[in-house]
Amino acid sequence: MTLATHARPIVIAPVGRIEPRLVAWAAEDARAILGRDVVVGDGVPLPSHAFSRQRDQWRAAVILDALADAKRADWLRLLGITDVDLYAPDLNFVFGEADERRGVAVFSTARLRLAAERTDRLRRRAATEAIHELGHTFGLRHCSRPSCVMWFSNTLAETDRKDMRPCAEHARELARALDASG
């Protein structure tokens, strides 16, 4: 696939403290899979009010708000990558969350690090979650095919089973969405 250069890049930004290499890998892998210009942006601070002392976790929706505030009009999408444990109400945790309307998403490497003895496993997991959350920002829904990147992962085993790329049906949907976005 040839990289298409467009005026509006997809930006991946660290949220809080995270290893720069993980952010760079996510950008490189997303660029290869999406065939779009994906760049690393400036860091976004973790909003302190996102932290729940009761849960010892960070509310993903509050981080999405911070990302929406940081997103520039000349960016196609903004994906935040963090190393704190995320949650959404009524769920024990989430690997990530997206807001299609605002074109922002976030995912965490906190749980992706578990049993990731090898660097390539952590990198693959991060790429899978990055593509999954970016897919949501382009209107893709969860897939019924366990190997599709858009499958809803509730465990690391499910994340490890998924491909980093969408199934044929979701690939067509994503290509249409990318084409429509300019």
Catalytic residue list contains 158: no
d(CA 149, CA 163): 5
Strand partners, 1: none
Structure tokens at 175: 């290509």
Which alpha helices (DSSP H) does the chain contain, by range? 20-34, 60-70, 119-137, 156-161, 168-180
Which of 97, 129, 133, 173 is flagged as catalytic?
Answer: 133
> Contact at 8 Å (CB) between 96 and 63?
no
> Contact at 8 Å (CB) between 159 and 116?
no
In the three-class reduction of DSSP (H, G, I as helix; E, B as strand; rest coil), residue 116 is classed as: coil
What amino acid positions are annotated as catalytic residues?
133
